[in-house]
């Protein structure tokens, strides 16, 4: 067939005289402007926040009474109660989520990651489910005693827990349990990382030559507990209590605009202030919501492939996804949220930001766009 056999006149006025003489229809130049391609960069915090309203932690100083803070070192594990009738479902889910059982008794199971913490998730079993609080490791016995005094609670020895230690549980102003622990023996070193760091070829840099990427499917192994959060009703009350009594400092705050145009703070992401030492962008957050409950707890996994393989492992097992994968704007984590069989939300994350005392605190307008850089739309079930 030669080009002559292709000559025709289309309804749109397009002449096709072989490939070399193709004539395109008239186009509206305005609607075909070239688009800037998406991009990503790693930017030092002050420059990254140059267009953001900054607030100084001293903004809240007048509200802080002169108390000696209870010094938190890290967030170490979560505590939940699940219905005893569902123990099999919960254990199966947490194993598929990438945790490992380190100890079992008749009433409780301790689940670990592969980091230095003896366990990251304590599940006790009873008549009905309950959120029993996040657990903060404190610097000294004196800090633990100050926590006990603050909550008018007793310090208990953890006789059964791996690593032992002492624990005190107090209530925050909205009635949420908060745990503090001291004296637990950490693992001597993290257990071996289950996945090697991959050599990744991009379009210009191709360090991986003559070698292939190979994977084994399975759960995304949990490294450590990263953060947890609450939905609350009184922002100022909770904010003052947590920032007054503990070395918790806001990394970012979200505000809503009232009808009058005034800004009202509605959510805060808080990091553990360890001075010059860098800590996770948030170990804790709270946000105003229609009902009060634990929002989610979040666990770190190795990398993007690990996280995706974990996502599809859970999906293929029939568990209920909430939202993800996507990348958060504040904190930068790539997230993946799931419902456990009892309706508690848990998250796998990778690639979170680190901050220290020099990192500015930002104040942003609350909204779906503040939650993610890329993702499916925020589901209505995410923030109830
Ligand atoms: Fe999270």
The rounded mean pLDDT for the chain is 91
Tell me: the pLDDT tens digits for 190-204?
A: 777 777 889 999 999
In the chain, where the domains are located: 54-192+218-374
DSSP output for 293-336: EEEEEEEE-S-HHHHHHHHHHHHHTT-EEEEEEEEESSS--EEE
How far is the centre of ligand 1, averaged over its atoms, from the C-alpha of 337 (Å)? 8
How far is the centre of ligand 1, averaged over its atoms, from the C-alpha of 13 (Å)? 55
| Enclosing H/E stretch for 147 | helix 141-151
Q: Is 43 helix (H, G, I), strand (E, B) or coil?
A: coil
Residue 384 in this model has a pLDDT that exceeds 50:
yes
Q: How far apart are the first and last CA of the chain?
A: 65
How far is the centre of ligand 1, averaged over its atoms, from the C-alpha of 42 (Å)? 21
Structure pTM?
A: 0.91
How far is the centre of ligand 1, averaged over its atoms, from the C-alpha of 324 (Å)? 11
CB 73 within 8 A of CB 85: no
Tell me: the pLDDT tens digits for 314-361?
A: 999 999 999 999 999 999 999 999 999 999 999 999 999 999 999 999
Give the model's pLDDT for residue 29.
66
How far is the centre of ligand 1, averaged over its atoms, from the C-alpha of 328 (Å)? 9
How far is the centre of ligand 1, averaged over its atoms, from the C-alpha of 351 (Å)? 12
Sole residue written with tokens 């739309």: 377
Give the model's pLDDT for residue 56.
78
Vertex 171 angle, CA 167 and 173, to 5°: 150
Which CATH class name applies to 54-192+218-374? alpha beta
Sheet containing 156-157: give its strands across.
Answer: 100-104, 108-112, 121-126, 72-83, 130-138, 177-182, 166-171, 156-157
According to the per-residue pLDDT averaged within each range, which of 9-13, 52-56, 192-196, 217-221 is highest?
A: 217-221
């Amino acid at each position: 067939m030669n080009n002559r056999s292709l000559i025709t006149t289309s309804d749109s006025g397009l002449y096709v005289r072989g490939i070399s003489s193709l004539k395109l229809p008239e186009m509206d130049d305005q609607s075909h402007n070239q688009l800037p391609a998406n991009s990503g960069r790693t930017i030092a915090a002050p420059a990254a926040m140059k267009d953001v309203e900054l607030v100084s932690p001293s903004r809240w100083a007048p509200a802080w009474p002169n108390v000696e803070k209870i010094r938190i070192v890290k967030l170490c594990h979560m505590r939940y109660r699940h219905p005893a009738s569902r123990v099999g479902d919960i254990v199966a889910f947490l194993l598929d989520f990438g945790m490992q059982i380190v100890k079992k008794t008749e009433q409780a199971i301790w689940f670990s990651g592969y980091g230095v913490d003896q366990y990251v998730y304590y599940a006790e079993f009873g008549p009905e489910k309950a959120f029993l609080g996040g657990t903060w490791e404190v610097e000294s016995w004196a800090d633990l005693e100050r926590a006990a005094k603050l909550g008018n609670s007793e310090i208990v020895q953890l006789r059964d827990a791996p690593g032992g230690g002492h624990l005190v549980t107090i209530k925050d102003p909205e009635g949420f349990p908060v745990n503090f622990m001291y004296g637990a023996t950490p693992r001597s070193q993290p257990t071996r990382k289950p996945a090697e760091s991959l050599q990744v070829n991009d379009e210009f840099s191709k360090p991986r030559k003559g070698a292939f990427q190979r994977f084994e499917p399975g759960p995304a192994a949990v490294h450590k507990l990263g953060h947890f959060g609450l939905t609350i009703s009184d922002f100022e009350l909770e904010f003052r209590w947590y920032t007054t009594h503990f070395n918790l400092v806001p990394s970012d705050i979200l505000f809503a605009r009232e009808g009058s145009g005034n800004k009202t703070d509605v959510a805060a992401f808080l990091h553990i202030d360890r001075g010059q030492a860098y800590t996770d962008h948030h170990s804790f957050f709270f946000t105003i919501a229609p009902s009060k409950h634990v929002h989610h707890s979040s666990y770190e996994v190795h990398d993007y492939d690990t996280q995706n393989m974990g996502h599809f492992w859970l999906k293929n097992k029939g568990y209920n996804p909430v939202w993800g994968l996507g990348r958060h704007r504040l904190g930068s984590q790539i997230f993946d949220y799931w419902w456990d069989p009892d309706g508690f939300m848990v998250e796998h994350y990778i690639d979170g930001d680190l901050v220290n005392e020099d990192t500015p605190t930002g104040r942003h307008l609350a909204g779906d766009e503040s939650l993610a850089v890329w993702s499916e739309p925020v589901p209505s079930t995410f923030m109830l």
